[in-house]
Amino acid sequence: MSAVHPAARTDVTRFACVLCPDWPVVSWGVPGSEPAAVFVANRVVACSPAARAEGVAIGQRRRDAQGRCPDLAVLDQDLDREARLFEPVAAALIDITSRVEISGPGLLGFPTRGPSKFFGGDQAMADLVVETLEPVLQGRGELFIGIADGVFAARLSAATAAQIGELDNGSEPIIIEPGESAAFLSGFGVDTLEMPELADVLVRLGLRTLGQFAELTPDDVIGRFGAEGRVAHRLAQGIDHYPPSLRKPAVDMAVTWWFDPPTERIDTCAFAAKALADELNRSLNDNGLACIRVAIEAETENGDEFSRLWRHEGTLSAAALAERARWQMDGWLHQARMGHTSAGRSPDAGVGSAIARLSLIPDEVVPATGRQLGFWGGRAERADDVSRAVARLQGILGAESVRVPEWRGGRGPAEQITLIPAAAVDLGEPREGTDPSHIAQPWPGQIPPPAPAEIGSDHGEVDLVAESGESIVVTARGELIGTPNWLVVGDTEIAIDRWAGPWPADERWWDPASHRRRARMQIVLADQTAHVVVTEQQRWTIEATY
């Protein structure tokens, strides 16, 4: 049995989570009958029902997914698009509850006490949510609902419903009866806490499940694991992060920006959101608090008001606050352009007028746990300077104009790194995509390190020739015919001092439309400049320069 004291049950909020795991695909407008998948770092993060029917699954490598489904449409993740188009989903629930909380594109929730009582119970309310949202999705994705005591248990119940749905081609809402969340959670692994370092210690101590962890007394947990351990222990017991008395800020910390003149431009709103997020974050830090739920409010020049709650299971940094405010404003403005009705407290009001006010209001706060300082103390000032510079550029050029590199994997130098919008990441926090070691899969035919310094060339087509003057050819088996002696660029012949390769790559051989057979070589010229050259259909080009 879990060591949960009866008094602790007053800390629990009955909560419903609505999960659409296919949302990254749905946001692209792909019909559910067409096989499609969204990839991040060449791994499937979402797929359509038709793709699942062909054997595509989340976590698969791109090559494996395309092997199972040759007609698979390959899509890139676009968080801005996903968030912008998710607003109508949240707005559709206005007749059921006014307390919709968005955790991220494809995941929202709300307290169930009022709606459940009004509509005749959890099951009836869940059925109404599905009935309300299915027309919005238009058959392009599936919905899964979990209801339990506490946000954590509700999210896991929704995720469990999604797992069952993948196996059974559909799933009923999973409803955990009041007081049974701890029992429901007991069989889950401690990795579901999403606290990797703590989970690693717990596993090494033999505490592999939430149920085993929950059996410890609070005093033992605090003495061994500190404040973070106590939060995790409460979650394992089916209780919310902190008691309700600690969640409301004692002072008014709302921050507001008035637009003069009112605006309909998302880049202007994004600039204001960044400034407000920085101001709010400083106020929270000064009071030793961190925000886990923020209310984003907007007012039009006609006096119409809109509001939406955004939740984060960790804490919302300044960059995360700015990102969610920009997503929300983009969603409202997109609705205005598309002629939708209001998503806020005035559902019948028009949304065609410009935005006059933007406010960020911390709706739920927790004690700040602090963050690791640098060796010389203080915060990472360089990261702050970069964030401010990026925000200024986004305000001038647009939110999508500033991009940062991220490792994606590939054989050619140009394929191994991609540029993603800076607005989609937290520049102040470590990112997996900046570490090439996170690309786990091998890439046969990839040129060895070091990586070239410059991608592309202005020379266009070139030629590699032997001493006899004949062009160098790489056979279908990857064998080199001839010895490269000269690089011919236009009318100029440059002697080749050293060379290595070739590295052949026969890619997407199963798809005639995108099949490519190439081979790469490294060459060092007499002037000691080094290049990567690639041949395709017996034509040579300079792909990169060292």
From the DSSP assignment, how many helices (H) and strands (E) are in the chain? 14, 23
Tell me, yes or no, whether 409 lies in a domain: yes
Which stretch of 170-174, 240-244, 252-256, 271-275 has the lowest confidence by average pLDDT? Answer: 240-244
Looking at the structure, tell me whether residues 55 and 94 fall in a common domain: yes
Do 334 and 268 sit in the same domain of this protein? yes
Phi, psi torsion values for 46, nearest 5 degrees: -165, 150
Residues in the chain: 546
What does the DSSP assignment read for 170-233?
S---EEPPTT-HHHHHTTSBGGGG--HHHHHHHHHTT--BHHHHHTS-HHHHHHHHHHHHHHHH
Confidence at 298, pLDDT banded by 50, 70, 90: very high
Do 129 and 158 fall into the same domain? Answer: yes
Residue 340 has pLDDT above 70, yes or no: no
Percent of the chain whose pLDDT exceeds 90:
32
Burial of 99 (0-12, 13-18, 19+ CB in 10 A): middle
81/233 Cα distance (integer angstroms): 36
Position with higher pLDDT, 355 vs 344: 355
- Return the higher-pLDDT residue of 32 and 52: 52
Q: What was the pLDDT predicted at 167?
A: 60
pLDDT, greater one: 168 or 514: 514
pLDDT score of 238: 87
Residue pointed to by tokens 């570490």: 435
Mean pLDDT, to the nearest integer, of 286-295?
89
2 pLDDT band, cuts 50/70/90, is very low
Cα–Cα nearest to 94, from 322, 378, 344, 263: 344
Orientation angle between helical segments 79-91 and 318-338, nearest 10 degrees: 60
Q: What angle do CA 165, 166, 170 make, to 5 degrees?
A: 35
Instruction: List 338's β-bridge partners, or say none.
Output: none
CATH code (residue 37): 3.30.70.270
Give yes or no for residue 436 having a pLDDT over 60: yes
The enclosing domain of 201 has a CATH number of: 1.10.150.20
Question: Are 282 and 363 found together in one domain?
Answer: yes
Q: What is the mean pLDDT of residues 504-510?
A: 80
Strands (E), 466-538: 473-474, 480-481, 486-489, 492-507, 516-525, 530-536
CB 38 within 8 Å of CB 140: no
- How confident is residue 433, by pLDDT bands cut at 50, 70 and 90? low
More confident residue, 320 or 386: 320
Most confident by average pLDDT, 157-161, 364-368, 466-470? 157-161
**Within a domain: 206:** yes
Asked if the model's pLDDT at residue 345 lies above 60, the reply is no
Neighbouring residues of 202: CB distance < 8 A, sequence distance ≥ 6: 190, 208, 213
Q: Which residue has the tokens 């009041």?
A: 178
Q: Specify the pLDDT at position 165.
A: 75
Split at pLDDT 50, 70, 90, the class of 344 is: very low
Beta strand 289-300 with 355-367 is antiparallel
Cβ atoms within 10 A of the Cβ of 268, count? Answer: 18
**Which CATH number do you get for residue 278?**
3.30.1490.100
Q: What is the pLDDT of residue 144?
A: 94
Same domain? 41 vs 172: yes
Mean pLDDT is highest, among 202-216, 438-452, 464-478, for 202-216
Would you say residue 378 has pLDDT above 80? no
Is there a domain that residue 46 lies in?
yes
Tally of structural domains, the chain: 5
For 221, other C-beta atoms within 10 Å of its C-beta total 21
State the average pLDDT over residues 76-85.
89
Kindly state the average pLDDT of the residues 228-238.
Answer: 89
Residue 365 has pLDDT above 80, yes or no: yes
d(CA 293, CA 79): 19
| Residue predicted with more confidence, 371 or 68 | 68
CA of 374: how far to CAs of 261, 369, 382, 435, 524, in Å? 42, 16, 11, 20, 42
Least confident range of 228-242, 409-423, 431-445, 448-462: 431-445
Q: What is the pLDDT of residue 108?
A: 94
pTM: 0.69
CA distance 298 to 353: 12
Per the structure, the complete domain to which residue 58 belongs is given by 7-184
| Whether the predicted pLDDT of 146 surpasses 90 | yes
Taking CA atoms, 105 is separated from 78, 80, 311, 343, 495, in Å, by: 10, 9, 11, 16, 56
* Same domain, yes or no: 95 and 180: yes
Residues 20 and 153 in one domain: yes
Whether residue 277 is found in the same domain as residue 345: yes
* Residue 352: predicted pLDDT: 60
Average pLDDT estimate for 423-449: 65
Whole-angstrom distance, CA of residue 248 vs CA of residue 531: 60
pLDDT of 371 > 60? The answer is no
Task: Mark whether 105 and 11 lie in a shared domain.
Answer: yes
The helix or strand, by DSSP H or E, that contains position 293, with its residue range, turns out to be strand 289-300
Shared-domain flag, residues 81 and 121: yes
For residue 499, list its beta bridge partners. Answer: 523
Residues 337 and 459 in one domain: no
Q: Tell me whether residue 124 is in a domain.
A: yes
Considering the chain, what is the average pLDDT of its residues?
Answer: 82
